[in-house]
Structures are given as structure tokens and as C-alpha cells.
A and B are shown apart, each in its own frame.
Chain A
């Protein structure tokens, strides 16, 4: 963890600070409810929940424009919520309903919204970075100033696909930002047991790009670092590897998972004391941007939004059996 004390972010507008806060609260509330619904059996399948890492998605997404693209991971809900995804359609997808983002065909691990530039959560660790590089290539080819962001974890930083993508991005100086959410674990294996290095950012040097380390529990710090990296990419100055040191408060899958003690309770508790939402609320109160009452109002409003989304999802129809074979291919039309 970087030792430096958080700055007061006095140069940031209250609008941005409140935006960061609101995005984080939306993610947290969504994920807490989704976790409870999964563990009670109301949502089928396996959810990889984002609780604890909210500052990363919120900080990066606040630095992006709507038309910028992202590739996500198996732990992708937070990315889509922060990119502006509809909670109704997200919950509907988790419930396997036809009104979901993927019409019930993708579920948690494939949640996506191309209209928001969210090119998909991904069930394959390391699947996203090459796709983000392809999007960045496309942005330059088409002459736009869009930026692509690849989210991935410390675990994925050991996949060859990440290294191939980073090398190509560095070689061609593509408008892409690699955001490593280092939560200390590749699934259930601690970072010290899956790679020799401590800082994934060290790998940037091998691909001719800057590696930046940021406190991933500090939404303002993530936002500022992401803003710099995105500006660099947009200006045509090439990619950046931005490593965010963070932690997931929940298990790899679900809330409590299989209750196998692969990490210490004390470690979890220590990280929970760094809760990014609590930290930002404390700061915003200190600098007079948002008091406790206003923060509580944000939580209450988001809780209402989430409750309505769950109600929408549960009231939505399941896909019809005939939908099984729809959208395997794009039909040849209009040519």
C-alpha cells in the first residue's frame, strides 16, 4: 500500500466528488443485495461480487466519457453499474429473465451494454485485455478519440493474453489503459503464492509504458490517476498500466463462499476498516461537500432504486424455450 496520506482533493469539484460517491454506493448496494439473493437461492448460478473494490470502478469510470469502451472481468457488476448501467436490466439478467441485458442468456459473468461501451464481463480470466486492445486499435483506425480500458486482476496479470495485449498496445502506442485491480488474490491463491513481484505495475516497463500504483481504496486517488492515464491515451501518447491496490470483502464467489479459510479474518477486518465509501464520506464531510445527512439520503435513494430493480426483475418473464436458438448467429440482412 502506498504510504502517502490522502490529499483533500480540493481541486476537484463537488460535482465530481458526489458523482464518485454515488457510483460507489450504487455498486455496494447492488452487490450486497445480489449476494444475499444468491445465497438465499433466489438468483441462480455463481456471482463474483465487487464489494470492497468500488473505488476502482467508480474512479476510473468518472474519468471516462460515455463513448469510451471498457472490457470487464468475471467480477463485472461494478464496472457496468459505474458505467451507467440500468439496475433493472442488470438484476433481470441475474435472475435469468428475458428483460435482462443479455435476455437471460449471459447472466452475471457476461453482463454487458454495448450502447454504453461496456464490451462485456468475461468468464475467462485474461480474456478482456486483447479485446480492449482491439477496440483501441479500432478507435485509432476509425479516427475517433475514444479510449478503451481493460479491467483485470492480479491473477490475470499472469495470463499470456495480458502480456500479448500489453506488448501490442505499447508497440503501437494505442489509446488504451490497463487497469489492474490487485485485490491480493487470484481466486483463492494469495498474490505471494502466484507471482514473485509485489507490484503488477512493474510489468509495464516490459512493454514500454508507464506503470502507476494507486491506492485502490481511495476513489479520489483512482479518479486522478485514471484521468491522467486516459488523457495520455486520448492525446495519442500511448497506454498506461494503472495498478489499484484493493481488496474484496466477500469471498471469490458469493458472500461467504465455501467458508474455506484461505485468508485470515484479521486481514479481512483490517481492509474493511479502509472501506472506500466510509473513507470518502468522512472526507466529504471534512471538506464540507456532503454531510452525514446528505450521504444517508444518497444511500436511501439508491436502496429504493435497487429494491425497484429487484421487483422489476422478479416480475419479468423468463425467456421462452424457443429463444434457446435465437442469436447464435447474426442473420444476413440488409445486404
Chain B
């Protein structure tokens, strides 16, 4: 899945983020980074480590703990000619800044009759599985996908985070990049040079004839693991990584389902009201006659994210759940 004509090397997701930000800041003076502890500390997850040394305090801005003010800083700067890259430390903190994101940034273009341009990128960290409990573990991407004017991407691996982050920062719209904590150590080949994964294009991670699995963000890794288990049973799943949730590359998903005749959708977010519901509805609208089984959705149960590992391990969807769900969709019971 990597471009072969340019030098690549194996690097983790976390370094892909840092490298990409540095390259984007080198190529465009208008790009600056602002967030809580992004400068001297290098980000609470270390994703911006060292950037202040190269770019200085003017372009790597440590802000007060003021998410609404921070996002407003990005909106005002984007509206006046800059290309802000704003970090909201945890996705759980996005709601604190939601007015600036959903009421201001997302709507300025439209409600001002097209005169405003908002090249704003917001990076934020989602995901459970680290015993960080209910307010530091959520995946809230469905909230953002519901807002016209925003674009939402969920990079599933190091290659994706580089290409999607570059596309986001170069895009003239507000884009939210939803990263995942458990992906930070995930290593894969990544081109050294800056490249873009066009927003709104899905990727077929693995081909297979028996069932389409649409997996978002880190769940792509779980789906790949599930694919190995299922292959040993003679079941070949086709994995589609939407990469961008809004705008959604529906044709790629629908085309896959028309061949496999079955679909399982998996995301880490709470299943009820999750983005999987939208994808399921779109599939049945566009490929109903091709479906041989009801579409299955996998997501977290309808509870806040629990703290104890004893509970959290039953909360976050995983490869085993994907395997079991695919078996059910295929009418096979282990």
C-alpha cells in the first residue's frame, strides 16, 4: 500500500505525525501549531516533540488550558490568512471547544455567502484501551460527521496519518484529524517525502470475496488480525478503510459490497448513533439487492468508557469480535 517510487522506511505513527508537521511547517510559513503543552513539553503523547526547537515559540505556541479560546484562535487566524494546526489534547475535550468548531469554523463559508475561507486543521487523540476512563478515551467522530462544513479523517496507521495530515493542512476547509492513542506505537513503511492521501478516498486494505469489513481508524488493525484468523478457516474478508469519514467515499464501499454481498462495519465508538449506522444505511440504499445477509455493526456498548482493565477489555471492539461477527453474517457458528 505504500508508494514504491519514493524512499520509505518503517516508522511509528507517532513519528509520522511529528515528521509530517515539521515538513508542512517548512513548506508553508502560514502554518503554525498551537495547543496545550505542544511546545516545550512536546505534547502529552510526544507527537510534537522537538518542533519548538526548529520553529521557535512564534510558530509552536503553548496555550493556556482554554479549548474554546484555542479553537477560536485557530478560527480567527484561519479567517485572516494563516493555516493553523490546532491540537486538542484529548478528543474528550473537543466538546469544550465545540462552539468554535461546529458553529463558527464549519459554518463561516456557507453563512457568509462563500466569502470566508477556513483552512483550519484540528488534530485530536481518541481511543480507549489505556485505562484512562470515561473522559480521556472517547471516540466522538460521529458528532463531527453530523456537521456540514467539517471534514473528518481517521488515520488507521503511520502511512495514513502522514498522507491525511498533509492533505488536511493543505485543504482550504476545517478538517478534524482523529488520531488514536493505541496506534502511536504502530509501525509501518512510510515515505520520507511529504505526500497526500486525497480527502474523501477510501482504501481497500485487503481483498476478499466473502464479506466486506468497513473498519475505521485503529479498527483497521483489528480487522487485519481478524482476516488472518478467518483465512485459516477458509473465509476471505475484504477490508475497506474509509480513511475519510466526511466526505465519505461511498462508491468504494458500495462496489465492494456488490461483490461480497455481505457487510460488517466496525468502529471503536459507541455503536448506538455511531457512524456505522450511516454507512449501513447508505449501503442498503445503494446495494440492497446485492445483500445476502443483514448488515452487521460493531461498536462499543452503550456506556461511558470504564476504567478498570477488567471492564475495559470487554468494552473496546477487537479482532475476536470481528471474527465472531463475520462468522454470524456468513451463517457459520463456530
A contact set with B: CB distance below 8 Å: 69, 71, 100-106, 110, 112-115, 119-120, 122-124, 127, 129-139, 141-142, 148, 160-161, 164-165, 167-168, 171, 326-330, 332, 335
Residue of A nearest to B32 (CB): A141
For the complex of A and B, list the 3 residue pairs with the smallest distance between their C-beta atoms, beginning with the closest.
A134-B76, A130-B72, A164-B69
- Residues on A with C-beta less than 8 A from B80 are 69, 119, 134-135, 138-139, 142
| Contacts across chains A and B counted by CB atoms under 8 Å | 143
Q: Whole-angstrom distance from the CB of A86 to the nearest CB of chain B?
A: 13
Task: Pick from B58-66, B87-95, B127-135, B290-298 the stretch touching chain A.
Answer: B58-66
6 further interface pairs, Cβ-Cβ under 8 Å (given A141-B58, A168-B69): A113-B115, A114-B79, A123-B103, A124-B99, A134-B78, A330-B117
Whose C-beta in chain B lies nearest to the C-beta of A164? B69
Cα of A103 to Cα of B114 in the assembled complex, Å: 8
CB-CB under 8 A from B73, the residues of chain A are: 130, 133-134, 137, 168
Q: Which of B70, B103, B113, B151 contacts A103 (CB 8 A)?
A: B113
Stretch at the interface among B104-112, B259-267, B271-279: B104-112
Residues in B with CB closer than 8 Å to A134 are: 72-80, 84
Chain B positions 51 through 63: 1 when the CB is less than 8 Å from some CB of chain A, otherwise 0? 0000000100001
Q: Taking A133-B69, A167-B64 as contacts, is the C-beta distance between A327 and B79 under 8 angstroms? A: no
Contact for A138 among B70, B81, B114, B116, CB less than 8 A: B81
Assess whether B172 is in contact with A119, with CB atoms less than 8 Å apart: no
Binding site for A on B (CB under 8 A): 32, 58, 63-64, 66, 68-82, 84, 99-100, 103-104, 108-118, 148-149, 151, 170-173
Given A138-B80, A328-B148, decide whether A120 and B72 contact each other with a Cβ distance below 8 A: no
Contact B69 A327 (CB under 8 A): no
Chain B residues whose CB sits within 8 angstroms of the CB of A135 once the complex forms: 76-77, 79-80
Q: Which residues of B contact A164 (CB under 8 A)?
A: 64, 66, 68-70, 72
Given contacts A120-B108, A164-B66, contact A127 B103 (CB under 8 A): yes
Q: How far is the CB of A15 from chain B (nearest CB, A)?
A: 30
- Please, which residue of chain A has its CB at the minimum distance from the CB of B78? A134
Cα–Cα distance between A293 and B225 once the two chains are bound (Å): 86
CA distance A161 to B171 in the complex (A): 27
Given A164-B64, A335-B170, is A130 in contact with B115 using a C-beta cutoff of 8 Å? no
Which partner residue on chain B sits nearest A102 by CB separation?
B113
In the bound assembly, the distance between CA atoms of A129 and B100 in angstroms comes to 11
